[in-house]
Chain A
Amino acid sequence: MKIGQYININLAVTTLVGLIALMLSLRVLAATPVLLNGAGSTFVEPIYTKWFTEYQKIDSEVTVNYQGIGSGGGIRQLIQGTIDFGASDAPMTAEEEKSAKLPVIHLPMVMGAVVISYNLKVDKPIKLTGPLVADIFSGKITKWNDAKIAKVNAAMKLPDLAIVVATRSDGSGTTAVFSDYLAKVSPEWQGKAGKNVDWFKGSLGAKGNAGVTGLIQQTEGAVGYVELIYALENKLPYALIQNKKGEFIDASSRSVTAAAGGKVVDEMVKHQFKISITDSDAKGAYPISSFSWMLVFDGMDKDKGSKLLKLARWTMSDKAQALASDINYAQLPKALREKVLSQIDKVKTH
């Protein structure tokens, strides 16, 4: 019996050692996986998630963990060094860049837009000019049949209805893009743009695109600004906005991509891609368009850095950009993508 017991123990130990050896050898056989952590903009979360799953098929060693905690939160975590890359719908301020340990490189990834949605019983989209939008969102134009609105929409019969302005109450990139546009088209708005804006007394604030949309749908005569993708997915009506060339433009992925065309490309390169493209003077451009940036450090460690930059290169490919337009994001124009690629090549790792 004692011998039997001994054999049993021996067997168990051998099996255990064998299993451990097997596991160790499996680990050696598989190449070391790289985990990249990123956080930031909620706007890009759907496409980032899609990209990162797709990219695993190309390079199975790379796993990306992305959390959409908001652009501000992403920048905060990047500065603290808890993540490998950030994502933001607004470029970092000079002060923020200074507090980061390493120089930060801005890489535009996709484009988006903000639309002016409304609740009005009209049969075709209403037209608005930049100054009109600014006046409505400052509480200066209070009725839909105001002479200034009627002048632009001559063929339309506008109701005698009070304008109820709905804004985002939570700090957001959408607000940043929209107020940046207001600052460009109206002198009064200069210096007042940001992720949180002091809206006029009597306007309403709601949380998220969904909150603003809910408000608009609830209230006849309401007007508010929401993200283009959200408006498209929920089939909301939105206004045609007059651009710098004088054309009234319907927001679409085409007209948004157009906003980054022409002279903008050279401007972008000159400013290391950190410029806003609202109120673009390109032909056919939708004026409230914006970039979303990936934020990476110049001088990351080699293991992670080289993988991340390779991934960033891939997002500039036709295939990756097509994935983005599948879910209503606007692609970066080809000319700009070339410039982004050469920027990526300049980023150092060690």
Chain B
Amino acid sequence: MKRREVRWSDLLFFNSLRALALLIILVFISIFVFLYISSAETFNTIGWKFFILQDWSTNGGRFGALAFIYGTVLSSLIAILLATPVSVGSALFLTEIGPRVLRRPVQMLIELLAAIPSVVYGLWAIFVLAPFVKDHIQPVLRGMTPGLELFQGPPFGLGLFTSGLVLAIMITPTITAICVEVFRSIPLIYREGAKALGATTWETIRLAVLGPGLAGIFSAVILGLGRAMGETMAVTMVIGNRADISASLFSPAATMSSVIANEYGEASAGLHLSSLSAIGLTLLLVSMVVNGFARVVIWRVTRGAR
């Protein structure tokens, strides 16, 4: 009788955990299904060409996602390129080089940065970052690379580059915090071994910290990338919101999340609404592809390390 009771509670526990796990999958599937159903009209009328059409005209009834995919990918790429060296560097400083007294306060400050709401970042970016880019960064970059289309463009202070910059600042705390954990988890004995072999501090870090921590750094960067791609508010405030693909990093652009935030509230025509849902679906798919790609890379890197 007693044994039976134990089995019952075990079964209950097991099944309730299974239900909870299934719930998460169910939520994911229902989001997918919702987006698919609500974007059906777009895929029926425009078809797969939706992904490669650049034109987005609510008056003309022409809808294409390419300009937004471009904006999302490029602004996230800028963010990752700027944030990764800074984050890995500060994580190394916090775990390997910096004086012990500094570590805790600096780490707390970094964690505080991660807690700032994105709309605050956006406001700061409009009033501080954008004028700074306009007056100090853009003229310098333009002066250094005459004729290079990439750094030409109108002197607004708003656009892809500024949104990449604000995204970089927003994801730096995330990447740094994970890198710190990764580096801390590497056994001390690696470093002692390297030192014992006569390695300098730089060589020790390269061999005993960065080497074994590579997979961890990678997943930190991917998490940062995920946040950068989905970030809406701060980007919407500084990207300039034009569905254009331009060679210049300083011209206004738009991202997938910014166009949804901008237009969903007032969209009433069928195809427009449906195309916004289709963009949501695209964003979900792009995030899944990026995450999948990152998993493969991590898997290969760790297998190589062993």
Contact = CB atoms under 8 A, between A and B. Distances in A.
B126 A201 contact: no
A171 B267 contact: yes
Given A169-B236, A204-B240, A215-B158, A195 B57 contact: no
A218 B58 contact: no
Contact of A169 (B127, B130, B241, B251): B241
B173 interface: no
Contacts of B268: 72, 75-76, 96
Contacts of B252: 202-205
A214 interface: yes
Interface in A273-324: none
A171 B59 contact: no
B241 A196 contact: no
A72 B267 contact: yes
A192 B60 CA distance: 8
A195 B268 CA distance: 10
Given A205-B242, A215-B158, A195 B266 contact: yes
B156 interface: yes
Contact of B262 (A73, A75, A169, A192): A169
B230 interface: no
Nearest to B57: A198
Given A218-B130, A218-B131, A206 B265 contact: no
B26 interface: no
Interface string B243-278: 010000001101000100111011110001000000
B127 A218 contact: yes
Interface in B224-238: 236-237
Interface residues of B, number: 30
Contacts of A71: 266
A170 B237 CA distance: 11
A196 B156 contact: no
B42 to A, nearest CB: 16
Contact of A170 (B57, B59, B263): B263
A192 B61 CA distance: 11
B265 A196 contact: no
Given A204-B158, A207-B236, A215-B158, A199 B266 contact: no
A135 B244 CA distance: 21
B58 A205 contact: no
B266 A70 contact: yes
B265 A201 contact: no
B154 interface: yes
A170 B262 contact: yes
Contact of B265 (A73, A164, A191, A218): A73
Given A204-B242, A211-B237, A219-B157, A194 B265 contact: no
